[in-house]
């Protein structure tokens, strides 16, 4: 996987990277999925096409620190040459020439994409040469002694030993088995204001991929040899499917695997068949027992998903760089989540993605997923010259929303909403729901999972900010009417100290919310959401954070009971129950310090309903039933 791209002046002269160390020519911190976001005309798409088209870009690969490699390689060999000359009186020979050439090669080519792929072969060829060297030629000595044969043998042995040592060092930095043969594929979007068909004929040519031809004509005319074959628009799907279905069993299985994915993800487990109709050269889709119908009669969202994911499934097992323009077009937020989750599937382990988008939903979804980097694009005018600035940023940076024109008002398009106080409440409940639904699937109680952003969504209302929302029918115009956003609301609040202080503002709010929302309202049966973690999960979480085993942890076993911490300040409880922990768990308020990081470790320990506390089980069953009722 590529970890950094060096922007040289001849290739990307109009782009600058905003970085803390001041180096503006390096796009670093690249990840499995790289999202380019920014306003219109900010240079995102042009940059994406440059990355796709130009194979001469200088890059840095993951796990291959070429600077460290250069230092190790050249230093080891240079020192070896010096020592050899001192001990054997040999000043030159064929081995010296090979070593000098290798040092020069590493220094000159350490970041060049096309050349770096030959690193393993060239370096391991030299190592193999040194290990198996049994004859020296073109030998020159710095003295006149006649013991050349003895010195040759000594030097051969020395070089053999040096080869073994170098092999051991290099293999740790540079695995010999790396596959550098990556391919590229570009998924454009059809743009307007230009003729679709390039030729002047009035007759439409249905055998030509006009989208592809138009894209090549507009963007890749210069030096586009070969790359135009890696542009996928969807118009060639009929011929591609027919080719695979009439091919080997392995090729037919690629189609079958894609059909299974469509079945489980979009059609509630009904069988799906991709059928090329020879009569009209159109791809038909058969779903369950329904009559087969042409693909263009499916919804635009399903068509978009098929266009994006089809080439990925067909290219499984390869190293693939995938460049996608605005995949959110025609996609419901729930579909956008399914798309991002699909891109991270294990089957695509050799794939890396570069995506342009204007979607604020993409930003929200990335909070739940790892292996994603986000880059904002801005257009700057300096003395009449246009420069595009790229900045690696966080997905929760509010400036990103301003860049893409998102207003403060939220848009809820799912069937119901679950309102929680903050991000950790959402992450815990999301994980509980995943595990609970998987349990229902395994016990044959349900057939399909409810999908976030499609069947339900989470709303983080920010704890005390709940006072700004009105859940009644009264005309309280100074507050936001939640029922006007969605009348299918399930609201969850932390208990905090409301039981101990029944006259507090929090206690009054809870009473008012209970009266208005009735069965759509729940108070967490614990001081905060962390307080309903089971004792086993809490123990394993502390062990994970402390990088220890459960048996090695020293803790008060009698004290570690759910009833003992249900209404306690969780940070203080952990410090007292686990007195020898290395980290600080209690914030000044007594609650957990760094709740988000603690949460991310804790949810890794919630893997079955056996990991649920009683309070967690009751809460999740209520939430699930609410979602189920609102999706009938």
Question: pLDDT of 391-434, one tens digit each?
Answer: 888 655 545 555 655 543 344 457 888 999 888 999 999 999 99
CA 231/CA 207 separation, integer angstroms: 16
Query: Checking DSSP bridges between strand 372-382 and strand 351-357, what pairing results, if any?
Result: unpaired
CA 105/CA 169 separation, integer angstroms: 18
pLDDT tens-digit map of 25-61: 788 889 999 999 888 888 898 899 888 887 767 777 6
Q: How far is CA 348 from CA 271, 320, 351, 456, 545, in A?
A: 23, 9, 5, 28, 30
pLDDT category at 436 given cuts 50, 70, 90 is: very high
> How high does pLDDT run on average in the chain?
78
State mean pLDDT over 124-145: 65
pLDDT at 238: 85
In terms of average pLDDT, the best of 86-95, 129-138, 293-302 is 293-302
CA 317/CA 308 separation, integer angstroms: 17
Residue 425 lies in a domain: yes
Cβ-contact 233, 191 below 8 angstroms: no
| Stronger pLDDT, 566 or 106, i.e. the higher one | 566
79 and 57 co-located in one domain? no
Which of 122, 142, 173 delimits the end of a domain? 173
pLDDT reading at 484 higher than 50: no
57 and 70 co-located in one domain? no
Residue 207: partners with Cβ closer than 8 Å, 6 or more residues away: none
pLDDT category at 265 given cuts 50, 70, 90 is: confident
Regarding pTM above 0.75, the answer is: no
Residue 179 lies in a domain: no
pLDDT reading at 453 higher than 90: no
| Stronger pLDDT, 122 or 360, i.e. the higher one | 360
502 and 558 co-located in one domain? yes
State mean pLDDT over 528-539: 94
- In 3D space, the residue among 339, 307, 333 whose CA is nearest the CA of residue 454 turns out to be 333
Which of 348, 368, 403 delimits the end of a domain? 403
Query: Checking DSSP bridges between strand 182-187 and strand 319-325, what pairing results, if any?
Result: parallel
pLDDT tens-digit map of 576-587: 999 888 889 999
State mean pLDDT over 122-143: 66
Residue 490 lies in a domain: yes
pLDDT reading at 545 higher than 60: yes
pLDDT tens-digit map of 348-370: 988 999 999 888 777 777 767 77
- 539 is written with which tokens? 């123990």
383 and 426 co-located in one domain? no
- 485 is written with which tokens? 């956003």
DSSP 337-379: HHHHHHHT-GGGTTEEEEEEE--HHHHHHHTT-SSEEEEEEEE
DSSP class of 324: E
pLDDT at 407: 45
pLDDT tens-digit map of 202-246: 555 556 666 677 777 667 764 444 454 588 888 788 888 889 999
Cβ atoms within 10 Å, residue 209: 19
279 and 142 co-located in one domain? no
616 and 482 co-located in one domain? yes
CA 29/CA 91 separation, integer angstroms: 45
State mean pLDDT over 164-182: 66
Q: CA 117: distance to chain centroid?
A: 24
User: Between 300-314 and 333-343, two packed helices, what is the crossing angle to 10 degrees?
Assistant: 0
pLDDT at 398: 47
Q: Which helix (H) or strand (E) holds 612?
A: none
Residue 596 lies in a domain: yes
- In 3D space, the residue among 609, 568, 614 whose CA is nearest the CA of residue 592 turns out to be 568
Residue recorded with tokens 């005390």: 464
pLDDT reading at 138 higher than 70: no
- Classify residue 514 as exposed, middle or buried by CB count within 10 Å of its CB (0-12, 13-18, 19+): middle
Residue 178 lies in a domain: no
DSSP 513-561: HHHHHGGGEEE-SSSSGGGGB-HHHHHHHHHHHTT--TTT----TTT--
438 and 393 co-located in one domain? no
pLDDT category at 89 given cuts 50, 70, 90 is: low
Q: Containing domain of residue 431, as a range?
A: 409-632
477 and 561 co-located in one domain? yes
284 and 309 co-located in one domain? yes
- 451 is written with which tokens? 């999908």
pLDDT at 362: 78
DSSP class of 26: E
pLDDT tens-digit map of 335-348: 888 888 889 988 89
CA 337/CA 301 separation, integer angstroms: 13
Instruction: Tally the domains of the chain.
Output: 3
**DSSP-based three-state secondary structure for 508:** helix
Which of 347, 372, 403 delimits the end of a domain? 403
Looking at residue 393, which CATH number applies to its domain? 3.40.50
Residue 455 lies in a domain: yes
Residue 125 lies in a domain: yes
pLDDT reading at 313 higher than 70: yes
Residue 73 lies in a domain: yes
Cβ-contact 336, 362 below 8 angstroms: yes
38 and 70 co-located in one domain? no
**DSSP-based three-state secondary structure for 450:** coil
149 and 206 co-located in one domain? no
Residue 1: partners with Cβ closer than 8 Å, 6 or more residues away: 30, 32, 61, 62, 352
Cβ-contact 218, 278 below 8 angstroms: no
Which runs of consecutive H residues, i.e. helices, occur in 20-93?
Answer: 44-53, 66-88
CA 575/CA 579 separation, integer angstroms: 6
217 and 126 co-located in one domain? no
pLDDT at 434: 95
Q: CA 394: distance to chain centroid?
A: 13
């Amino acid at each position: 996987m590529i970890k950094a791209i060096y922007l040289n002046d001849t290739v990307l002269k109009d782009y600058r990277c905003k970085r803390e160390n001041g180096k503006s020519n390096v796009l670093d911190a690249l990840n499995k999925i790289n999202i380019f976001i920014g306003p219109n005309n900010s240079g995102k798409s042009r940059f994406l096409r440059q990355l796709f088209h130009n194979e001469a870009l200088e890059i840095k690969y993951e796990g291959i620190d070429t600077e460290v490699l250069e230092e190790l390689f050249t230093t080891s060999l240079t020192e070896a040459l010096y020592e050899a000359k001192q001990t054997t009186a040999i000043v030159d020979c064929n081995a010296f020439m090979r070593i000098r050439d290798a040092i020069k090669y590493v220094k000159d080519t350490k970041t060049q994409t096309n050349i770096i792929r030959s690193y393993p072969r060239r370096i391991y060829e030299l190592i193999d040469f040194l290990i198996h060297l049994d004859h020296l030629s073109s030998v020159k000595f710095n003295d006149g002694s006649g013991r050349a044969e003895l010195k040759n043998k000594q030097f051969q042995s020395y070089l053999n030993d040096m080869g073994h040592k170098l092999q051991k060092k290099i293999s740790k930095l540079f695995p010999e088995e790396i596959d550098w043969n990556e391919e590229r594929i570009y998924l454009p979007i059809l743009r307007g204001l230009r003729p679709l068909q390039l030729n002047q004929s009035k007759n439409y040519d249905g055998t030509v991929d006009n989208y592809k031809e138009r894209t090549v004509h507009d963007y890749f005319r210069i030096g586009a040899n070969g790359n135009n074959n890696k542009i996928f628009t969807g118009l060639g799907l009929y011929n591609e499917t027919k080719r695979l279905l009439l091919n080997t069993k392995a090729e037919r299985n690629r189609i079958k695997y894609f059909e299974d994915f469509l079945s489980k993800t979009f059609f509630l487990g009904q069988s799906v068949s991709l059928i090329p109709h020879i009569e009209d050269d159109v791809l038909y889709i058969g779903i369950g027992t329904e009559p087969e119908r042409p693909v263009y009669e499916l919804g635009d969202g399903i068509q978009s998903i098929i266009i994006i994911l089809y080439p990925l499934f067909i290219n499984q097992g390869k190293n693939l760089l995938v460049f996608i323009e605005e995949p959110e077009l025609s996609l419901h937020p729930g579909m956008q989540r399914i798309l991002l989750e699909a891109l991270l599937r294990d089957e695509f382990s050799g794939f890396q993605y570069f995506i342009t988008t204007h979607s604020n939903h993409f930003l929200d979804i990335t909070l739940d997923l790892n292996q994603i980097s986000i880059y904002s694009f801005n257009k700057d005018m300096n003395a009449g010259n246009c420069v595009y600035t790229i900045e690696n940023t966080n997905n929760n940076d509010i400036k990103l929303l301003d860049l893409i024109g998102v207003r403060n008002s939220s848009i809820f398009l799912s069937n119901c909403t679950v309102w929680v106080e903050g991000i950790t409440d959402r992450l815990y409940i999301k994980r509980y729901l995943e595990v609970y639904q998987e349990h229902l699937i395994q016990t044959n109680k349900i057939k399909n999972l409810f999908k976030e952003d499609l069947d339900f969504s989470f709303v983080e209302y920010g704890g005390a900010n709940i006072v700004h929302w009105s859940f009644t029918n009264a005309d309280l115009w100074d507050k936001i009417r939640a029922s006007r956003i969605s009348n299918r609301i399930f609201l969850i609040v932390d208990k905090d100290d409301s039981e101990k202080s029944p006259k507090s503002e929090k206690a009054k709010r809870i009473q008012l919310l209970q009266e208005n929302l009735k069965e759509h309202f729940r108070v967490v049966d614990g001081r905060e959401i962390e307080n309903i973690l089971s004792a086993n999960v809490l123990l394993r979480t502390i062990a994970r954070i402390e990088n220890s085993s459960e048996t090695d942890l020293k803790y008060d076993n009698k004290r570690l009971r759910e009833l003992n911490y249900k209404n306690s300040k969780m940070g203080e409880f952990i410090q007292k129950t686990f007195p020898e922990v290395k980290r600080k768990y209690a914030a000044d308020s007594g609650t957990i310090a760094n709740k988000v990081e603690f949460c991310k470790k804790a949810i890794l320990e919630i893997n079955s309903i056996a990991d649920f506390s009683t309070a967690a089980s009751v809460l999740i069953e209520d939430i699930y039933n609410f979602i189920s009722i609102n999706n009938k």
